[in-house]
């Protein structure tokens, strides 16, 4: 299995299109309280985790929640697509403000796999164009990702994900 080391008291950004398996991966590898998801934040500010009109307020809440955890020295995993550079930049800046390390963990299963999985999800009723746009954002991000301030950028493709991943918390 692939070993992924993450900062024990820092921040981890999951990065991947809808359907790439971020929430599943987070459930499998981290404690529920370590995971801060944009869906949970949307639900808390609007009553509906699919409410796209609540996005700005949801991310306000997300950053506030993450900031408190980082100040308290707690490992925090952000479960959001994070495919746009702007979205990552504000979280990297948040980690810097709290003097903690930040890693990116890219789940890279490919657009067709992600879109096919979403087809089977009643809670994701958007069309394939949404994943296509996210995939384009991710592809644009690849080259510069390592220069955005991450300590490490881990990229897990279908083979690594299928073979299994071990998370090591590094102090």
Chain residues that interact with ligand GTP, rule: CB under 6 A:
16, 18-24, 81, 117, 121, 124, 161
**What is the DSSP code (8-state) at residue 47?**
S
Number of residues interacting with Mg ion: please give it, by CB under 5 A.
1
The region of 16-24, 81-89, 139-147, 155-163 touching Mg ion under the rule CB under 5 A is 16-24
The region of 7-15, 21-29, 94-102, 114-122 touching Mg ion under the rule CB under 5 A is 21-29
Collect all residues with Cβ–Cβ distance below 8 Å to 1 and sequence separation of at least 6: 163, 164, 165, 166
Percent helix, strand, coil in the chain, to 5, is 50, 20, 30
Least Å distance, CB 60 to ligand GTP, is: 19
Least Å distance, CB 163 to Mg ion, is: 22
Q: Of Mg ion, ligand GTP, none, which one sits near residue 10, judging by CB under 5 to 8 A according to partner kind?
A: none
Q: Exposed, middle or buried, 11 (CB in 10 Å: 0-12/13-18/19+)?
A: buried
The region of 19-27, 122-130, 136-144, 154-162 touching Mg ion under the rule CB under 5 A is 19-27
User: In the beta sheet, which residues pair with residue 155?
Assistant: 106
Does residue 23 bind Mg ion (CB under 5 A)?
A: yes
Collect all residues with Cβ–Cβ distance below 8 Å to 153 and sequence separation of at least 6: 103, 104, 106, 145, 146
In the complex with Mg ion, which residue's Cβ is closer, 23 or 55?
23
Residue 90: which region, alpha, beta or left (left: phi > 0; alpha: psi -120 to 50)? alpha
In the complex with ligand GTP, which residue's Cβ is closer, 81 or 100?
81
Collect all residues with Cβ–Cβ distance below 8 Å to 155 and sequence separation of at least 6: 106, 108
Least Å distance, CB 26 to ligand GTP, is: 8
Which chain residues interact with Mg ion by CB under 5 A?
A: 23
């Amino acid at each position: 299995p692939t070993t992924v080391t993450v900062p024990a008291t820092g921040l981890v950004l999951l990065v991947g299109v809808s359907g790439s398996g971020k929430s599943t991966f987070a459930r499998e590898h981290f404690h529920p309280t370590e995971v801060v998801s944009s869906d949970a934040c949307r639900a808390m500010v609007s009553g509906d985790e699919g409410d796209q009109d609540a996005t700005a307020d949801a991310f306000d809440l997300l950053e506030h929640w993450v900031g408190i955890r980082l100040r308290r020295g707690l490992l925090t995993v952000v479960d959001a697509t994070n495919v746009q550079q702007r979205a990552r930049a504000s979280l990297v800046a948040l980690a810097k403000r709290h003097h903690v390390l930040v890693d990116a963990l890219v789940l890279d299963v490919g657009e067709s796999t992600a879109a096919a999985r979403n087809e089977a999800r009643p809670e994701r009723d958007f069309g394939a164009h949404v994943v296509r746009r996210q995939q384009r954002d991710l592809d644009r991000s690849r080259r510069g990702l390592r220069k955005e301030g991450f300590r490490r950028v881990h990229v897990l493709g279908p083979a690594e994900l299928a073979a299994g991943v071990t998370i090591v918390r590094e102090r």
